[in-house]
Structure 1
Amino acid sequence: MRYLKKITGLSSLFLFIITVSIAFVILFTPLYYFSVWLHELPAQLNMSFQALIDNYHILLRYLHFPWVTELNMPDFPSSESGLFHFWEVKLLFYLNYAVLIISLIGSFFYARALKKNRRIWTLQKPFFIASLVPPLLLMFLAINFDRMFLLFHEIFFNNDDWLFNPATDPIILA
């Protein structure tokens, strides 16, 4: 039983760290602002910076809020398959947030039990091993981003709706 609690607790901690990291990246809008500036998207798309950001915020509202049920970006028309893909992305966001909340609860109780029993030190080895994952992942991304991007989409989507055509889904250019 102690081993099962340890595995469940560590799993909760790792899931929490992963999902909170994903949520941070999703919600960290300055990252997109920087990308727009770095890649000179306003000039490439013949749009103002503000128009790009306004459309981006419309997309984020759609992806994050259950009461926003339609995606209608004023400067980016979307095909049916593009809209379906964004709906699937919305579901993945909700799944991430659900796992984040559940793992937060599990992590809280596990960390509290470790602290109470003065066993926080037992996290040292698992966290050291886990700390090796981000550099390895970044290395694979740096070596072959396109393959990692394709692999991600092959794992999480069971269709080809994520293969946007710039003529029907110009959002892919932004």
Structure 2
Amino acid sequence: MSRFKESMGIVSLMLLIVSIAIAITIWFIPLYQLAIYNYDLPERLGLTYDQLMNNYYVLLRYLHFPWVTELNFPDFISSEDGLFHFYEVKRLFYVNYGVLFISGIGTYFYVRFLRKTKRYWVLIKPFFIASLVPPVLLMFLAVAFDQMFVLFHQLFFDNDAWLFNPATDPIINALPEAFFMYCFILFFVLIEGSFIIGYQMSKRKAFKD
């Protein structure tokens, strides 16, 4: 295999890990349940736990299912800017699933090649280097989450529709900033765990072969 194809195989593997971690994070409903309890959202918003979860499920269905084309919260009004932002998030989710699918195919053929040629050793260094990144980002998250949160939106959105006004988009009150922090933490933990496991497995297989 040429060096370019080798590099593309490693990139596919890393992208697969990242996209799977994103998918797990956005579907991991206990994160929102944790935010509800930690920030006493029912009392603060005057809604029941079931009402909050129902609105959250409405949002999840809209963000994930192509046949759900309109977002109508049962207990919250929405502005045009707010709805447009959720539409942009929906598109990003689809991009992630597209990356997951394509990188999954690339990774399948690459891993099959590694199995046939017993070249697992080529993954040791990439996994080691990749494992150094999440701890740095987690430290930055711990000391400067606000800046990281703003930077994230500036990188992925070319407008300020994400700056929700609670008066016109009260759903933002049901999605506290801490909830998104929980999401970032889970994401970084998932990819770090995957990188460490990948590093250990590639070392074990390399030495075994």
Question: Which bracket does the TM-score occupy, shorter chain normalised?
Answer: over 0.9
1:53-111 CA-to-partner distances (Å, cap 9, x unmatched) read 00000000000000000000111110000000000000000000000100011011111
Q: Secondary structure at the match of 1:75?
A: coil
> In the alignment, is residue 52 of structure 1 matched against residue 52 of structure 2?
yes
Give the AA of the match of 1:7: S
Ranges of 4+ aligned residues in structure 1 off by more than 2 Å: none
Distance 1:107 1:137 in 2: 25
Alignment of 1:12-51 (within 5 A): 12-51=12-51
Distance 2:162 2:142 in 1: 22
Q: Aligned residue for 2:68?
A: 68
1:24-58 CA-to-partner distances (Å, cap 9, x unmatched) read 10011111111111111111111101100000000
Cα deviation for residue 125 of structure 1 reads: 1.2
Cα deviation for residue 134 of structure 1 reads: 1.2
Give the AA of the match of 1:88: E
Q: Secondary structure at the match of 1:162?
A: coil
Q: Secondary structure at the match of 1:139?
A: helix
Gaps of 5+ in 2: 175-209
Distance 1:103 1:50 in 2: 37
Give the AA of the match of 1:66: P
Distance 2:137 2:19 in 1: 16
Q: Secondary structure at the match of 2:15?
A: helix
Distance 2:40 2:2 in 1: 55
1:120-168 CA-to-partner distances (Å, cap 9, x unmatched) read 1221111011111111111111110010110010111011100000000
Q: Aligned residue for 2:149?
A: 149
Count matched residues.
174
Distance 1:58 1:21 in 2: 22
Distance 2:31 2:146 in 1: 20
Alignment of 1:50-129 (within 5 A): 50-129=50-129
Gaps of 5+ in 1: none
Distance 1:132 1:76 in 2: 42
Q: Secondary structure at the match of 2:76?
A: coil
Q: Aligned residue for 1:165?
A: 165
RMSD between aligned alpha carbons? 0.8
Q: What TM-score results when the alignment is normalised by the length of structure 1?
A: 0.98
Q: Secondary structure at the match of 1:116?
A: helix
Distance 1:88 1:66 in 2: 13
Give the AA of the match of 1:119: R
Give the AA of the match of 1:78: S
